[in-house]
């Protein structure tokens, strides 16, 4: 039987060397939620760090998988199984190259769109029906620069934009949990 808990996971790469990288935008959202709701990431299990708490009256699990981006699905699946979280109550947040820097897009389901962390999650769970919050990081000028681009920090002129979009994304998490995806997609997309 599934619990009524929500699992909110931010995708990123572990380690201080990746902290401000574009690819760690999902981790940035989790860090913001930790502060906003006072839910410390104080437990480790299944190659992930997490904290349990409440968002209003809703039980919530905030998660950062520490498996590196391309293997994100394994710790998320293990934690969702351990806590009996139904896949319909999972929200993943991550960077999106195809959106302008700071733009947010919400989806209730969909493909990986070239994102290897999302691909890992879809493969591990065996479904594309996993809710997500995409946070735009823009594209580099030349395609061959993608890996270097996502593994570098935001430029100084982008930092305020990303900070603002992380704050908006936190509101999206609240709205998804309290009002559902349809309302959120109508309001934010």
With respect to residue 167, please indicate whether it lies within any of the assigned structural domains: yes
Q: Looking at the domain assignment, is residue 61 inside a domain?
A: yes
Q: Is residue 170 part of a domain?
A: yes
User: What are the residues whose beta carbons fall under 8 Å from the beta carbon of 104, sequence distance 6 or more?
Assistant: 133, 134, 135, 136, 165, 168, 169, 172, 188
Q: pLDDT, tens digit, for every residue of 114-140?
A: 899 999 999 999 999 999 999 999 998
User: Which tokens is 105 given?
Assistant: 């897009």
pLDDT at res. 1: 56
Is residue 1 one of the residues assigned to a domain?
Answer: no
CATH of the domain at 143: 3.40.50.1470
Range of the domain at 55: 6-188
Band of pLDDT at residue 73, cut at 50, 70 and 90: very high
Are 75 and 43 within 8 A, CB to CB?
A: no
Confidence of residue 4 (pLDDT cuts 50, 70, 90): very high
Q: Is 23 an active-site residue?
A: yes
Q: Domain tally for the chain?
A: 1
Report in angstroms the alpha-carbon separations of 151 from 15, 21, 31, 147, 172.
12, 5, 18, 6, 25
Percent of the chain having pLDDT more than 90?
Answer: 78
Instruction: Tell me what the pLDDT averaged over the chain comes to.
Output: 93
DSSP for 125-163, written as a single string: HT-S--EEEEEE----SSGGGHHHHHTSBPPHHHHHHHH
| Per-residue pLDDT at 76 | 97
Q: Is 178 among the domain residues? A: yes
Mean pLDDT of 62-91: 95
Residues paired with residue 96 on neighbouring β-strands, in sequence order: 136
Position 74 pLDDT exceeds 80: yes
Could you say which of 23, 115, 152, 157 is catalytic? 23
pLDDT tier at 145 (50, 70, 90 boundaries)?
confident
């Amino acid at each position: 039987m599934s619990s009524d808990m929500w699992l909110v996971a931010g995708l990123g790469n572990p380690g201080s060397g990746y902290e401000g990288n574009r690819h760690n935008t999902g981790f940035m959202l989790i860090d913001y939620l930790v502060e906003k709701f006072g839910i410390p990431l104080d437990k480790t299990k299944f190659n992930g760090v997490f904290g349990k708490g409440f968002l209003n009256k809703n039980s919530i699990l905030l998660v950062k998988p520490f498996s590196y981006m391309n293997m994100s699905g394994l710790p998320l699946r293990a934690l969702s199984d351990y806590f009996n979280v139904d896949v319909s109550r999972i929200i993943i947040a991550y960077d999106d190259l195809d959106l302008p820097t700071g733009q947010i897009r919400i989806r209730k389901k969909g493909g990986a769109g070239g994102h290897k962390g999302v691909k890992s999650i879809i493969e591990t769970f065996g479904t594309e029906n996993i809710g997500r919050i995409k946070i735009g990081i823009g594209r580099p000028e030349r395609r061959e620069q993608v890996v270097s681009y996502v593994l570098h920090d935001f430029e100084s002129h982008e930092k305020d934009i990303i900070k603002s979009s992380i704050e908006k994304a936190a509101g999206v998490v609240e709205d998804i949990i309290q009002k559902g995806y349809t309302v959120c997609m109508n309001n934010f997309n």
